[in-house]
Amino acid sequence: MQNSAIIKTENLSKTYPLGLTALKALDTVNLSVATGEFLGFIGPSGSGKTTLLNIIGCLDAPTSGSAKVLGQPVESLSHKEAARLRMNRIGFIFQTFNLLPVYTVFENVEFPLLLLGMDAERRRGHVMDALQWVGLADRADSKPAQLSGGECQRVAIARAIVKKPELVLADEPTANLDAKNSHHIMQTMVQLNKELKTTFVFATHDEKVMAYLNRKIVLADGRIVKDEAGGQKSNVRDQKP
Amino acid sequence: MIRFLLKGLLRDRSRSSFPVLIVSAGVMLTVFLHAWLNGTILNVTQSTAQFKTGYVNVMTKAYAARADQIPNDLALLGVDTLLASLKQQFPDLLWAPRIMFGGLLDIPDEKGETKEQTPVSGLGVDLFSPNSPEWTILNIRSALVRGHLPEKQGELLIADELAQRLNIQPGQKATLISSTMYGSMALENFTIAGMLRFGVGPMDRSAVIADLSDIRQALDMQNGAGEILGFFRDNLYHEERANAITAEFNAEYPSNDPENGAGKFSPIMETLRTQSGLSEVLDIMAVYMRIIIGVFVFAMSVVLWNAGLTGSLRRYGEFGLRLAVGENKGHVYRSLIVESLAVGVAGSCIGTAIGLAFSYYLQVHGIDISGAMPKENAMMIPDVVRAQIEPATFVIGFLPGILATFFGSAIAGIGMYKRQTAQLFKELET
């Protein structure tokens, strides 16, 4: 396990204009996340967890302060540089799966590899590996509409990890799943965290997710109010940066 | 990557089939409307030229000044020489001397007493000269519905509608009562050879057609003709050429030059546009056609632009995902534009093909509008109006088809740059 910081923020703030006033979504957030962590931003709606996740994912820029993700300063990245960073090193998992409905499971998982310009043979190998990790190799030719919610989210996980990114960001990944599927999904991600050494960062207020986290960063009104390490179900790691 | 995007485009009907269908429908309507309006104007022009004015028309200056009254007392004389000169000077046109006349047609009973009498408008045309162009110009063979074509002097063709009204049959005798070019009463006996139906209201109501030499004899117009009409061989009005011919001809007969015999009986040539106020009518029709097509193309463009716009706006969630996965905005935008162009080109090609097929059908078969025309209509509008395909018909549909779809997508795509990436990302969840 490496202990170098994969994410580091200093006095990170984000303000959104709101008519004549401004909404402070993040307020001087200082944070350091080490490689291989399995952590979550926890808090109610409006606490700033999705905003923080967006900045870490280079989808948004801070208003002030700095955020370094995978060694890159988010605030000074151009659109192209941010896209390249996401394409090569960051995976996303969404609340609503967001699979492309016209493509098969295989093609959905294959999409990030196409952007990387990988040749067809290597793509096939990587996609089938990713589908095997999430237990859906036999559904490669199915369309998303033929899958259950849990299976869709597993495809989304396969899509996020197929390029073996160093960082996976998951925004409320279990919000649309029942308890059984939520646990299944979390167990899959814990396993991937262990096997691939991928850092997972969640934004959640789902207790089922919290139970699996090594580290819980509690946000309220855009500030970190608590940063605590916790036991991870079926997880062997015990660390705190 | 291109294959991947193409696969998605073909599989997603809301991105391919439906937009292509909408574009096709809009383009088809545009193409058809263009061909139809074009055909309507062409039909009116051709009918007017065919029966009334020619594409160019040689008359005496005095006749031209009162042409609407058909003043045969001011007709051309020495026509053979003038005709030969016209044929030599302008061989690209067909030249046809005609005498238009009015009069009464008297139908006698068995005892020779008047049974029926009706006013007619007549046309003396060259029916018996070898290579007479009138058979083709007036399409007499196709217009014959009863009886036979004139085979000898003294035979008369009569509009079928008029014949039915007078209850006369082929072979019956008829007397034309009119006035000679010198103002005396003219009486000439004819035999009804056959009945014609031209499909043009004014001709079908009261026309009679006789050989030019018979009418010359009846109206005492030896070697005379009211007009010598010139027709382009492709039966299309070429305005620039008509103007050039007219200018060249008229330059030989300067006005008010008595020494050159250029008095009121000297010939003057006019084009189709300059006769009987036709220029205003044609200009108005052309303007209306442009306005109608312009409004339609604009409306179609707005519809298709809107379709492109909403189609792209609907996909902001997908764009958000693609951006999140690592595709850059420029690539997403370019793929959107290429997609819209593909849809525009496919829809325009299909729409143009269907529009052309439909137009071609109506160019061949036409639509019978005689029921909608007033009985007393005096305009040379054919009963069957046909569409007309011209080179512009092939391309006009591409204007709304490609450009509107392209701009719709291009404008919608700009939204990607205006929105923060995170906002697009957020739209994934909606």
CATH number of the domain that residue A25 is part of: 3.40.50.300
Given CB atoms, is A82 within the 8 Å cutoff of chain B? yes
C-alpha to C-alpha distance for A111 and A104, rounded to whole angstroms: 11
C-alpha to C-alpha distance for A170 and B339, rounded to whole angstroms: 31
- Yes or no: say if B340 and B406 are a contact pair by the CB < 8 Å rule: yes
The SS3 of residue A206 is coil
Q: Is residue A235 part of a domain?
A: no
Of B12, B422, B429, the CB nearest to A102: B12
Average pLDDT of span B189-202 = 89
Q: What is the pLDDT of residues B388-422, one digit of tens each?
A: 998 989 988 888 788 877 887 888 777 766 665 55
Q: Is residue A153 part of a domain?
A: yes
Q: Assign residue B274 a region (left: φ > 0; alpha: ψ between -120 and 50; beta: otherwise).
A: alpha
Q: Which domain holds residue A147?
A: 5-229
Q: Is residue A106 part of a domain?
A: yes
C-alpha to C-alpha distance for A119 and A126, rounded to whole angstroms: 11
Among B255, B275, B240, smallest CA distance to B49 is for B275
DSSP label of B200: B
Write out chain A residues lying below 8 Å of B4, CB-based.
103, 107, 110-111, 114
Residue owning tokens 């298709």: B304
Average pLDDT of span A45-51 = 88
C-alpha distances in angstroms, B273 versus A158, B228, B231, B279, B317?
75, 16, 14, 4, 60
Q: Is residue A240 part of a domain?
A: no
Side-by-side strand order, sheet with A72-73? A21-34, A5-18, A64-69, A72-73
User: What dihedral angle (degrees, nearest 10) is formed by the CA atoms of B297, B299, B304, B309?
Assistant: 130
pLDDT: is B42 or B98 the higher one?
Answer: B98
Chain-centroid distance of CA A217 in Å reads 15
Q: Percentage of chain A surpassing pLDDT 70?
A: 94
Of A90, A96, A102, the CB nearest to B429: A96
C-alpha to C-alpha distance for B337 and B405, rounded to whole angstroms: 9
Write out chain B residues lying below 8 Å of A95, CB-based.
429
* Whether pLDDT at A187 is above 50: yes
Given CB atoms, is A114 within the 8 Å cutoff of chain B? yes
* Whether pLDDT at B378 is above 80: no
Of A79, A102, A103, the CB nearest to B329: A79
Burial class of residue A209 in the structure, from the number of CB atoms within 10 Å of its CB (0-12 exposed, 13-18 middle, 19+ buried): buried
Q: How confident is the model at residue A234 (pLDDT cuts 50, 70, 90)?
A: very low
Residues 6+ apart with CB under 8 A from A172: A95, A203, A204, A205, A206
A231/chain B closest Cα distance in angstroms: 31
What pLDDT, on the 0 to 100 scale, is given for residue B427?
52
Length of chain A: 241
C-alpha to C-alpha distance for A148 and A133, rounded to whole angstroms: 18
Chain-centroid distance of CA B67 in Å reads 23
* Whether pLDDT at A26 is above 50: yes
Chain-centroid distance of CA B342 in Å reads 35
Number of compact structural domains in chain A: 1
C-alpha to C-alpha distance for B117 and B189, rounded to whole angstroms: 14
Q: Is residue A234 part of a domain?
A: no
What pLDDT, on the 0 to 100 scale, is given for residue B417?
67
Q: Is residue A236 part of a domain?
A: no
Supply B336's token pair: 């959107």
ipTM above 0.85, yes or no: no
Q: Is residue A77 part of a domain?
A: yes
- Yes or no: say if B400 and B300 are a contact pair by the CB < 8 Å rule: yes
Q: Is residue A138 part of a domain?
A: yes
Mean pLDDT, chain B, whole residue set: 85
Q: Give whichever of A176-185, B25-34, B268-277 has the largest mean pLDDT.
A: B25-34
Q: What is the pLDDT of residues A78-120, one digit of tens each?
A: 888 998 999 999 998 888 778 888 899 999 999 999 988 889 9
